[in-house]
Amino acid sequence: MRIFLCPTCENQVHFNNTQCVNCFSGLAYAPLEDEWAALGPDNLGAWNRECCTNREVIGCNWLREIGDQSGLCVSCLHTTKIPDMSDPTNTRQWARLERAKRRLFYGLFKFGLPLAREPDGIEGSLKFEFLGDEMRPDGKNERVVTGHASGCITINIEEADDAIREKNRTALGEPYRTLIGHFRHEVAHYYWDKLVVSEDLKNACRATFGDERQDYGDALKAHYANGPRQDWQQSYVSAYACAHPWEDFAETWAHYLHMVGGLETAYAYGINPKPTRVGAQHLVQLDNPYHVSDLEKLIEHWIPLTVAMNAMNRAMGLRDYYPFVWTPVISNKLKFIHDLIEAQ
């Protein structure tokens, strides 16, 4: 993400701020323009556009689009189900999920990826449901499963609880589990449906990730029963990617978004580590990592950044920033994602 400045005083503004910490102007972000507006005393009037109604409820700091009738910003508009708000814990968790979702949308807009939202009930439009487990009358727990189906992304709100997410991460033996990671993974399934439509693309996708026509339910069951194949690290970015070609596609897609978003942020802060190979020189920063035709260039810049960031985290006793290893097979999969997004 790039660095934002307060339109009133030019102090740095962070993506989730609703107010400037220096001049105390109320602030709102216009996502499609990628600009900040200072609000008038009544929190209205920025460019004659109103703030998202969810500003008061969950601290959403985005402006509504011109002509909007819903009262919501373009991100909140895509959320069609929220948890029971009579419980303040649910409200906090929903707020965290929307924060991560706005960061997802920021990246999607930068890539110029289509974000269709048709009226409710139409199969295939992008929707988000943030739901919690519920106790049934028979005393059994109705479990909400995080996942994607026909353009609807469901996230169990417990994932917004750090302690629970960490417990889930350890139980599943994952090196990385975050809200933005969930969003970048799940939205990949939506874009698979939307973008991998021609027979040529489907065949190229099969040649890269495997045949997605194998039964999804059976494949997942087998994955959880037997674990990933022994040599998964050679060809998959994560153990879960082995579960089914759709999951491999989604995991690789998420990593592509991590990489480009990470590079944009590093450049904004002037972080440009030297490649670790002998005699290497600093690389010249890429103008706009969201639109680079040569994937090799992105990878060439990303690898030294992850090495440096891992070292920084270890210096603070934290887990690795980027606990993944790439191989030529994985780079080839990234190439498919890169070309698919570039074509948009």
Interacting residues with Zn ion (CB under 5 A)? 6, 8-9, 11, 20, 22-23, 25, 52, 54, 60, 62, 73, 76, 247, 250
- Which tokens go with 248? 């491999």
On whether the CB atoms of residues 93 and 71 are closer than 8 A, the answer is no
**From edge to edge, which strands make up the β-sheet containing 152-156?**
79-81, 127-131, 152-156, 147-149
The residue (of 39 and 305) whose beta carbon lies closer to Zn ion is 39
In the complex with Zn ion, the residue whose CB is nearer, 211 or 294, is: 211
For the CB of residue 266, give the shortest distance to Zn ion in the complex, in Å: 25
Min CB(76)–Zn ion separation in Å = 3
Of 38 and 299, the one with the shorter C-beta distance to Zn ion is 38
As a whole number of angstroms, the distance between CA 129 and CA 123 comes to: 15
Q: Which is nearer to Zn ion, 37 or 286 (CB)?
A: 37
CB of 70 to Zn ion, least distance (A): 10
Q: How far is the CB of 245 from Zn ion (least distance, A)?
A: 11
Residue 293 and residue 342 in contact, taking contact as beta carbons nearer than 8 Å: yes
Q: Which is nearer to Zn ion, 6 or 259 (CB)?
A: 6
Burial label for 207, CB within 10 Å (0-12, 13-18, 19+), is: exposed
Q: Which tokens go with 149?
A: 């189906």
Instruction: Give Cβ neighbours of residue 197 (< 8 Å, ≥ 6 apart).
Output: none
The DSSP annotation for 83-151 comes to --TTSHHHHHHHHHHHHHHHHHHHHHHHHT-----PSTT-TTS-EEEEE--EE-TTS-EEPPPPEEETT
Provide the minimum distance between the beta carbon of 134 and Zn ion in the complex, in angstroms, as a whole number. 23
Give yes or no for a contact between 57 and 45, defined as CB atoms under 8 angstroms apart: no
Helix (H) or strand (E) holding 253: helix 245-268
The nearest distance, CB 11 to Zn ion, in angstroms, is 5
Residue among 76 and 205 whose Cβ is closer to Zn ion: 76
Q: Which is nearer to Zn ion, 54 or 125 (CB)?
A: 54
Least distance in angstroms from the C-beta of 100 to Zn ion: 13
Beta-carbon contacts of residue 59 (< 8 Å; ≥ 6 apart): 16, 18, 95, 99
Question: Per residue in 77-94, is it b (16+ CB within 10 Å) or e — as a string?
Answer: bbbeebbeeeeeebbebb
Angstrom distance (rounded) from CA 258 to CA 185: 10
The distance of closest approach from Cβ of residue 5 to Zn ion in the complex, given in angstroms and rounded to an integer, is: 8
Q: Whose Cβ is closer to Zn ion: residue 60's or residue 298's?
A: 60
* Alpha helices (H) in 196-229, listed in sequence order: 199-209, 216-226
Decide whether 23 or 308 has the Cβ nearer to Zn ion: 23
How many residues would you count in the chain? 344
At closest approach, how far in Å is the CB of 38 from Zn ion?
7
| Cα-based angle 152, 158, 160 (whole degrees, multiple of 5) | 85
